[in-house]
Amino acid sequence: MLVLGIETTCDETGAAVVERPPQGPGRILANVVLSQIEAHAAFGGVVPEIAARAHVEALDLIIAKAMGEAGKTFAELDGVAAAAGPGLIGGVIVGLTTAKAIALVAEKPLIAVNHLEAHALTARLTDATPFPYCLFLASGGHTQIVAVLGVGNYVRLGTTVDDAIGEAFDKVAKLLGLPYPGGPQVEREALTGNPARFSLPRPMLGRPHADFSLSGLKTALRVEADKVAPLSEADVRDLCASFQQSVVEVVADRLRAGLKMFREAYGKPSALVAAGGVAANQAIRKVLHQVAFETGTVLVVPPAALCTDNGVMIAWAGAERLALGLTDTLDAAPHARWPLQDVRGPASEEVVLETAAASDAEASRPAAFEDG
Ligand code: KG4
Ligand code: ZN
């Protein structure tokens, strides 16, 4: 099953061609991503109108490049997938409308993919991870712990009550005068900083639910920064390290709570899966390993390039849905808001548990996807 995937929900214009075999992991034939970081950097964040215009200008070429790299024509595709939300509506309209045009002209089925579902299913492309698994999705717009029970069958176990983790990293960076996007900058500064110098809160630590809260932490950091202002380079490094340390401890605690909720409701997950741009952070990766080890859970962290926004995950989610006959009509609507729980699955709603196949999937993990 060969699918073209288009991603335009935020500040990356992505197109990819992915093949889904009847079993096992997927094959990436092409993955083209154009980041708009430079267009937005001067504004310290993504400007929706600039993003939409940049998608319009780049998308046709990016799709042509992806098709060329894959060595395929539209006629050879089995389906055309685009992220139909959630995201910045201008960009979503650009990607979805383009996919509809290709689907119409090439007479291929359209798959309107939920961007969060695409993050959630990426582990099945890289590692053939069987259902059910526990997903930790942490990006600029979302922070959730989700029970992934099947395609279109998602139960949210925890979420942030205020800022997303990536958003908190970005805001902290801005506050400390570091460039956008802030996550990688804060991580770099934290590497050589002292995580014990500033005493910051650990919001939600020890709570029985699996929710997050980040805004108080950010405010506490601002108070500490104000106390020592003007900031030296060492102050910035120590503030970043202290902030990241707090986030890491909170993530570990919330994941322990989420995994406990998962086991109580659905039994042992086949894996703990990480997704979203924040999963590129090495300190967070390390704590994911620790929690997985402690709880005897297999950990699946796709390579960083597949954790941040890309067309591959859209193509793969499209292929997974197409394989189940879940296609969309050409009047499929773009959504600015589209909670994961509202995504529909197969009509029978039968939850297919594939846990028995988990060890096979582990054994067949392709070397190409090993994360260095
Ligand atoms: O998934 P993604 O590429 O886009 C969204 O859907 O939001 O995630 C981007 C977010 C940004 O907030 C960025 O600062 C954060 O992920 N991020 C990081 C790191 N790399 C990206 N946060 C912490 N450490 C990183 N290394
Ligand atoms: Zn994303």
Q: pLDDT at position 369, please?
A: 32
Residue with tokens 């780049």: 58
**Is the pLDDT reported for residue 371 higher than 80?**
no
Backbone angles phi, psi at 127, to 5 degrees: -125, 5
**287, 313 Cβ separation under 8 angstroms:** no
Token pair for residue 284? 């967070």
Residue 33's pLDDT band (boundaries 50, 70, 90)? very high
Ligand 1, residue 11: give the atom nearest the CA. 4
Neighbouring residues of 5: CB distance < 8 A, sequence distance ≥ 6: 14, 15, 16, 17, 18, 81, 82, 113, 118, 311, 312, 313, 314, 315, 316, 317, 318
User: Which distant-in-sequence residues (6+ apart) come within 8 Å of 167 by Cβ?
Assistant: 140, 141, 214
Q: How far is CA 295 from CA 263, 266, 343, in A?
A: 11, 15, 29
What is the tens place of the pLDDT at every residue in 70-97? 999 999 999 999 999 999 999 999 999 9
Residue type, 89: I
- Model confidence at 150, pLDDT cuts 50, 70, 90, reads very high
Pocket (CB within 6 angstroms of ligand 1): 10, 139-141, 166-167, 169-170, 181-184, 187, 276-278, 280-281, 308-309
Instruction: Compute the distance between CA of residue 332 and CA of residue 321 in angstroms, rounded to an integer.
Output: 15
CA of 309 from ligand 2 middle (Å) equals 5
* CA 233 to ligand 2 center in whole angstroms: 31
Transcribe 20-71 into DSSP letters. --SSS--EEEEEEEEE-HHHHHTTTS--HHHHHHHHHHHHHHHHHHHHHHHT
In the chain, the amino acid numbered 46 is: V
Going by CA atoms, what residue is nearest to atom 8 of ligand 1?
277
Q: Give the global pTM.
A: 0.90
CB 4 within 8 Å of CB 66: yes
Protein residue with its CA nearest to atom 23 in ligand 1? 183
Q: Where are the alpha helices (DSSP H) in the chain?
A: 37-41, 48-70, 89-106, 115-127, 165-175, 182-191, 215-228, 233-266, 282-294, 304-307, 311-323, 358-363
Domain boundaries, the chain: 2-124+305-359, 131-269
Query: Residue 22: which residues within 8 A CB-CB, separation 6 or more?
Result: none
Percent of the residues in the chain that have a pLDDT greater than 70, as a whole number: 93
Which pLDDT score, from 0 to 100, does residue 238 have?
Answer: 98
Whether 372 has a pLDDT exceeding 50, the answer reads: no
- What distance, in Å, lies between the first and last C-alpha atoms of the chain? 29
Tell which CATH architecture fits domain 2-124+305-359: 2-Layer Sandwich (3.30)
Quick: pLDDT tens for 164-216.
Answer: 999 999 999 999 999 888 999 999 999 999 999 999 999 999 999 999 999 99
Q: Answer yes or no: CATH 3.30.420.40 is held by domain 131-269.
A: yes
Do 2-124+305-359 and 131-269 have matching folds? yes
